[in-house]
Chains A and B, each alone.
Chain A
Amino acid sequence: MKKMLSLLLASAMSLSLLAGCGGAPQTPPAQSNPPANGSNTSQGNTSTPEPATPAGPIKVAALSSGYETTYPGMWQEVCDAFTAETGVEVQLTLEKNLEDVIGPSMQGGDYPDVVLLATGREKGLTEQFIKDKLMTDITDVLSMTIPGENATVSSKLIPGFVGTNATNPYGDGKTYLAPMFYSPCGLFYNAGLFAEKGWTVPTTWDEMWELGDKAAAEDIALFTYPTTGYFDAFFYALMYSVGGADFFNQATSYAEGVWDTAEGQQCFDIVAKLAEYTAKVTPAQANESDFSQNQQLILDNKALFMPNGTWIVGEMADAPREDGFQWGMTALPAAQAGGAGASYAFLEQIWIPSGAANVDAAKQFVAYMYSDAAADIFLKGGAVQPINGIVEKLDGDNVMFYSIYDAGASAVVGIFSAYESVAGLGTVREVFFDPVNGLVSGNVTKDQWIADIKAASDEMRENLV
């Protein structure tokens, strides 16, 4: 009797264990959705969906960023509006660590239909989809009529946002990523401090260094940065302001000898000199757990400028600050007197994985993102889309931030071209920007940094996708 009981218990235990591990795959496999494109996963970009695909529920995966924090429920509201307009149900996945949530299920073959996730993030998920050509060609979305409106998508987009390698990564005229939110990046400072000291915001780098010396006399560092990741937007704008569009395009496609040109050298000189003017504590805090202390340096008047984006206002909203503190933002100074400054437009993209089961409805969803109804909801969270006339609808600090281009700064759009992953070759951030920590603390020399960039840049060029 006793043995029977223990046998029963043991088998119950083993059953429950097995049931426990069988829990995960209970969600229906991706194939149970309309199968039209199921076989296309391996060919990636060649997928042209069958027009007959029934409009089933679509799965939307979006990054929960500062905008969602500002206006909780923003994405759900947009999805509901889409469902009301088209009748297509939406399953929304909204996560701060979106890569960790959708990554494993995508490896298991379960793809969302629409993904909002920008390039340039630490985990580089979007870059991997670009490199491996796992995105659906959405060029035709640009000529689609927006659901519920008469206008087409391209007629509403601000010119210049589509066509760079941020949206057309292969340079073949086909669009794979739609520009979703943009935010001007620049140097942020305490406007109150400048007014108090009677300093003017520098318009050239020479003025910048002069200001740096003046500030140093008062124990204020000229510059700080949250983490080296913030140098990408900074460096894009720097390249553009130094060498204009031609140099920018050459540099972002790793053209041969581009770093030996006068413009290339000037970019390195400026970053290296800026490293000397950087607050010494910066590299010690330039990590995921302490970066806000670097941002705090601006609020505490211990450093003058930092590269950042418009989200900084919301991010530091609760942080203590000096009396009279007021956010100011300026474009990067011009390379020469009389030149134009530049500000990088940080772009978040929305795209459709080629493994998506419901491409047609997904494209409708992407098109709907540019409707007035959706744009108004996004604006409540401070998320600004590249839609004509959107700047007039802004309020608060955003008016000043987004008027940066009207004030004469060149708008810089585009990213470093994608290259095939090669073992031993680092990412752009690892090669170009991470060593800035070492430049500031003095254990990486400028020559070493430049030599590494040149070597890596050559290898990147050879492996362009």
Chain B
Amino acid sequence: MRSKGRSRFIVLCVAPAAILFFIFMVMPTFNVFRMSLFERGAYSPTETFVWLSNFKVLFKDAKFITSMQNTILLIVTVTIITFFFAIVFAAILTREKIKGQNFFRIVFYIPNILSVVVIAGIFSAVYKPENGMLNSIFSLFAGREIMVLWKDQPMVIVSIIIAMVWQAIGYYMVMYMASMAAVPMDLYESASLDGAGRLKQFFQITLPLIWTNIRTTLTFFIISTINMAFLFVKAMVAKGSSDVALSFMYNQKDAGLYGYSMAAGVVIFLFSFLLSALVNRVTRRDVLEM
């Protein structure tokens, strides 16, 4: 009797989330797959079944291939750079005695709460060709006027990478700081008694013990990079100059190709799904207990 009531309670608790998840996640995803087999305008009530022809054109579309390349480039570079800095900063802020630790933590975290529009505004001042922050600093050190056109080819993708890394570091840094703080101090103490230096401690103790956390955040990060790249590209740079997968998809919708755009959506969905699974597999290690 008691357990029956309990399970009913659990069902009731889970139901709202499950229903919402079904309506707003499962159904739309299913619809994306269905619509990718049709061709229709965004507002047109008629749709024609075209089987896989959307996908056939898609894989030959040079623009789509470029946009996928850009996406992969961003995922790889932004992930590596962000994780490197996030872990290093987190290690420094938790392990070393630095004045104003909290201050740094807040400063690094702030970009994460800014909206992309604000970030785009900040970076349009940073990247401004004349009197922009970056170019002014470069000119100061070079002793002559340097004018890098940040948002023009070929630098445009670099500009996006810098902005995305800047935006993401703080969030992941705070996450790693939390898990690093959970590493018991006596481990470090005994390691230093055994003569292990700071670096050795980091690689032998800190990194293995927060590995589960890194794995989880890595999967988060890949999915969020695919999404954030779209926002950054849309807000920061000229249309068509460095399209990523999602902005390609979005542009197709504006061109009145709903089915085609959904076909791109299917490819992106499968791509991010497989990539997350792959990353999850590759990073699998035996979990160390503290």
A-side residues, CB < 8 A to B, are 3, 6-7, 10-11, 13-14, 17-18, 21, 41-42, 103, 106-107, 122-125, 127-129, 131-132, 134, 227-228, 280-281, 283-290, 293, 421-424, 426-427, 430, 434, 437-438, 441, 443
Question: Could you tell me if A421 and B41 are in contact, using CB atoms closer than 8 angstroms?
Answer: yes
Tell which of B43, B45, B235 touches A128, judged by Cβ atoms closer than 8 Å. B43
> Contacts A128-B256, A131-B41, A281-B149 given: A10-B239 contact, CB under 8 Å?
no
Check B128–A286 contact: CB distance below 8 A: no
Question: What is the bound-complex CA distance between A150 and B100, given in angstroms?
Answer: 78
Binds A, one of B10-18, B83-91, B171-179: B10-18
Which residues of B line the A interface, CB within 8 A? 5, 9, 12-13, 15-16, 19-20, 23, 39, 41-46, 53-54, 57-58, 60-61, 63, 120-121, 124, 127-130, 147, 149-154, 235-241, 251-252, 254-257, 259-260
**Of B12, B41, B60, B152, which one neighbours A132 at CB under 8 angstroms?**
B41
Q: Give the docked Cα–Cα distance between A288 and B154 (Å).
A: 19
Docked pose: A129 CA to B42 CA in angstroms: 9
Q: What chain A residues lie within 8 Å of B153 (beta carbons)?
A: 283, 437-438, 441, 443
Given A423-B58, A443-B153: A14 in contact with B15 (beta carbons within 8 A): yes
- Enumerate chain A residues within 8 angstroms of B255, measured Cβ to Cβ: 124, 421, 426-427
B residues near A421, Cβ cutoff 8 Å: 41, 255-257, 260
User: How far is it, in angstroms, between the C-alpha of A127 and the C-alpha of B42 when the chains are bound?
Assistant: 11
Whether A287 contacts B16 by the Cβ 8 Å rule is: no
Chain A residue numbers with a CB within 8 Å of B238 are 227-228, 283, 286-288, 434, 437
Say whether B43 contacts A289, CB under 8 Å: no
The 10 lowest CB-CB distance pairs between A and B, nearest first, are A132-B44, A421-B256, A14-B16, A284-B149, A287-B238, A284-B152, A423-B260, A423-B57, A132-B41, A281-B129
Chain A residue contacts of B54, Cβ below 8 A: 423
- Can you list 24 pairs linking A and B with CB atoms under 8 Å apart? A6-B9, A14-B16, A103-B42, A128-B256, A228-B238, A280-B147, A280-B149, A281-B147, A283-B151, A283-B241, A284-B127, A284-B149, A287-B151, A287-B237, A288-B238, A289-B121, A289-B124, A290-B128, A290-B151, A423-B54, A423-B61, A424-B63, A426-B63, A443-B154
Whether B12 lies near A131 (C-beta < 8 A) is no
Q: Given contact pairs A3-B9, A14-B16, A421-B257, enumerate 4 new A-B contacts (beta carbons under 8 Å).
A: A124-B256, A127-B256, A290-B124, A423-B252
- What's the minimum C-beta distance from B5 to chain A, rounded to whole angstroms? 7
Among A18, A128, A434, contact of B16 (Cβ-Cβ < 8 Å)? A18
A239 CB → nearest B CB, Å = 22
Residue from B61, B130, B241 within 8 A of A281 (CB atoms) = B130
A280–B151 alpha-carbon span in the complex (Å): 12
With contacts A124-B255, A426-B63 taken as known, whether A284 is within 8 angstroms of B151 at the C-beta atoms is yes
A10 and B254 contacting across the interface, CB-CB below 8 Å: no
Cα A227 to Cα B241 with chains together (Å): 12
Q: Which residue of B lies closest to A421 (CB)?
A: B256
A128–B42 contact, CB under 8 A? yes
Determine the chain B residues whose CB is within 8 A of the CB of A437 once the complex forms: 152-153, 238, 240-241
- If A228-B238, A281-B129, A421-B255 touch, whether A13 touches B151 (CB-CB below 8 Å) is no
A434 and B43 contact, CB distance less than 8 A: no
| Cα distance A281–B147 in the bound complex, in angstroms | 9
Docked pose: A438 CA to B153 CA in angstroms: 8
Bound-complex Cα distance A280 to B15 (A): 59
Is B254 in contact with A122, judged by CB distance below 8 angstroms?
yes
- A289 with B147: in contact, given A131-B41, A227-B238 (CB under 8 Å)? no
Query: Does A430 contact B15, Cβ atoms closer than 8 Å?
Result: no
The residue from A13, A42, A424, A427 contacting B45, defined by CB atoms under 8 A apart: A42
Residues of A contacting B12 in the complex (Cβ-Cβ under 8 angstroms): 7, 10-11, 14
Give bound CA distance, A128 to B257, whole Å. Answer: 9
Q: With a CB–CB cut-off of 8 A, which chain B residues contact A21?
A: 20, 23
**Closest chain B residue to A13 by CB distance?**
B16
Residues of A within 8 A of B235 (CB): 288-289
Tell me, in angstroms, the Cα distance from A293 to B12 when the chains sit together.
57
Contact A41 B45, beta carbon cutoff 8 Å: yes
Contacts of A107 in B (CB 8 A): 42-43
Interchain CB contact under 8 A, B149 and A10? no
- The distance in angstroms between the C-alpha atoms of A10 and B5, with both chains bound, is 14
Tell me the bound Cα distance from A29 to B61 in angstroms.
40
- Shortest C-beta distance, B103 to chain A (Å), equals 30
Residues of B within 8 A of A285 (CB): 128-129, 151
Task: Give the residues in chain B near A127, CB-CB below 8 Å.
Answer: 256
Q: Which residues of A contact B259 (CB under 8 A)?
A: 423
Residues of B within 8 A of A290 (CB): 124, 128, 151
Which B residue's beta carbon lies closest to that of A133?
B44
Closest A residue to B130 using CB positions: A281
Chain B residues with CB under 8 A of A106: 43
In the complex, residue of chain B having the shortest beta-carbon distance to the beta carbon of A227: B238
B150 with A284: CB separation less than 8 A = yes
Q: Which residues of B contact A125 (CB under 8 A)?
A: 43
